[in-house]
Amino acid sequence: MPAARPLKICLISYRTNPHSGGQGVYVKNLSGALVELGHRVDVLSGPPKIDLDTGVTLHQPPCLDLYNPDDLFRIPSLRELANPINVLEWIGVSTMGFPEPFTFGLRACLFLRNRLRQYDVVHDNQSLSYGIWAISRQIPTVATIHHPITVDRNLSLRSVKPFLEKIKLLRWFSFLRMQKIVSRTFSHIITVSESAKKDIQKDYAISKKILRVIPNGIDTKLFRPQPAVKREKARLMVTNSADIPLKGLYYLLQAVAGLKVKRRFKLVVIGSPGKNGAIEKLIHRLGLADHVRFTGRISGEALALQYARASLAVVPSIYEGFGIPAGEAMACGVPVISTTGGALPEVVGDAGVLVPPADPAALLQAIEGLLDHPARALALGRKGYERVQHHFTWQNAAQKTAAVYREAIHDYGRF
- Residues 339, 248: contact at Cβ < 8 Å? yes
Structural domains in the chain? 8-217+393-412 (3.40.50.2000), 235-391 (3.40.50.2000)
Region for residue 126 given its phi and psi (left: phi exceeds 0; alpha: psi -120 to 50; beta: otherwise): left
pLDDT, one tens digit per residue, over 41-64 is 999 999 988 889 999 999 999 999
Q: Is the pTM higher than 0.85?
A: yes
User: How far apart are the C-alpha atoms of 175 and 353, rounded to whole Å?
Assistant: 36
Tell me: pLDDT of 349 over 60: yes
Percent of the chain with pLDDT over 70: 97
15: amino acid identity, one letter? R
Rounded mean pLDDT, 8-13 = 97
pLDDT, one tens digit per residue, over 65-98 is 998 878 888 999 999 999 999 999 999 999 999 9
Between strands 57-59 and 40-45, the pairing is parallel
User: How far apart are the C-alpha atoms of 331 and 348, rounded to whole Å?
Assistant: 11
- pLDDT of amino acid 71: 86
Q: Residue 413: which pLDDT band, with cuts at 50, 70 and 90? A: low
- pLDDT of amino acid 112: 96
User: How far apart are the C-alpha atoms of 287 and 285, rounded to whole Å?
Assistant: 6
User: How far apart are the C-alpha atoms of 260 and 91, rounded to whole Å?
Assistant: 48
Q: Residue 242: which pLDDT band, with cuts at 50, 70 and 90? A: low
Region for residue 58 given its phi and psi (left: phi exceeds 0; alpha: psi -120 to 50; beta: otherwise): beta
Report the mean per-residue pLDDT for the chain: 93
135: amino acid identity, one letter? I
pLDDT, one tens digit per residue, over 355-371 is 999 999 999 999 999 99
User: How far apart are the C-alpha atoms of 125 and 199, rounded to whole Å?
Assistant: 18
Rounded mean pLDDT, 98-105 = 96
What is the maximum alpha-carbon separation in the chain?
67
Report the run of H or E that residue 238 belongs to, with start and end. strand 235-239
Q: In the 8-state DSSP scheme, what is residue 393?
A: B
